[in-house]
Amino acid sequence: MSKIRLSDISTTPPEGMDKEAIKLMTKEFVKELDELQNLLYAEHKHSVLIVLQGMDASGKDGLIRKVLGNMNPQGVNVKSFKGPTDEEKDHDFLWRIHRHVPAKGMIQVFNRSHYEDILIQRVHKWIDDKTAEKRMQAINNFERLLSEDNNTTILKFYLHISQEEQSKRLQERLEDPRKMWKYNKSDSVEAKLWKEYKKMYEDAFEHCNEVKWNIVPADKNWYKEYVVAQTLRDTLRSFEMQYPNLEQ
């Protein structure tokens, strides 16, 4: 597998994409996803884990709302991982993650994830490279366990935003009353570490790739939503699920 270099991948939609046509297709995907999620829940044989990663302001929250917001909330869980609590720090780094993996029939979304433990931890030098290497091995084993032992399909998305677009969105958090609640004093500090985060993401892509990463151009929300919705729709279709019959 060739190394993923984010600088070689565009953050904008491919040329020639019709915005309005794509938005209509996304609406159709979202409608179908509602039925497919119901079928997933009823058949109770598969589960799906969606991992969303990206720089600050890459649009994870909005994506969850637009693509998954139409589904039955009984069958979809969302977990946002912040900094670990004191209790979580007293355990291995995957302890708090494993508690939220999906049961059969469920779709689980991780808004940030176990990858933070080899991203922000390395950028701020809270762990050294040797520890990071061990954690990456543990992540591969963890994801393999979910796939092989519980029939969990893992979809990993990196929302690929440009530095210019991030700056614009962070500024909106200071100026738009509807977005001020998203503002965090650490935003500007983390934004200055763009190159370091980029390097650590590329290292994660290279060493935690048994489950492939989907690099999603994220400067335009309408295209990002389309890519994720289509990928999830195609994945659920591939299960060839059937509603259970009445027990005889």
pTM here? 0.95
Asked if 19 and 224 touch (Cβ cutoff 8 Å), the reply is no
**Residue 1 — pLDDT band, cuts 50, 70, 90?**
low
User: Which pLDDT value is given to residue 175?
Assistant: 86
Instruction: Encode pLDDT of 199-221 as tens digits.
Output: 999 999 999 999 999 999 999 99
Which pairing describes strands 76-80 and 47-54: parallel, antiparallel, or unpaired?
unpaired
pLDDT at 2: 66
Q: Percentage of the chain surpassing pLDDT 70? A: 98
Q: What domains appear along the chain, each with residue ranges and CATH number?
A: 44-237 (3.40.50.300)
Tokens encoding 51: 């991992």
Calpha distance 131→229 (Å, rounded): 35
Helices 221-238 & 19-43 angle (0-180, nearest 10): 30
Any residues with CB less than 8 A from the CB of 214 and at least 6 apart, and which?
155, 156, 157, 158, 227, 228, 231
248: confidence class by pLDDT, cuts 50, 70, 90: very low
SS (H, E, C) 78-147: EEECCCCCHHHHCCCCCHHHHCCCCCCCCEEEEECCHHHHHCHHHHCCCCCHHHHHHHHHHHHHHHHHHH
* pLDDT confidence bin for 177, thresholds 50/70/90: confident
Dump pLDDT digits (tens) for 116-139: 999 999 999 999 999 999 999 999
Assess whether pLDDT exceeds 50 at residue 76.
yes
pLDDT at 66 over 60: yes
The model's confidence at residue 27, banded by pLDDT at 50, 70 and 90, is very high
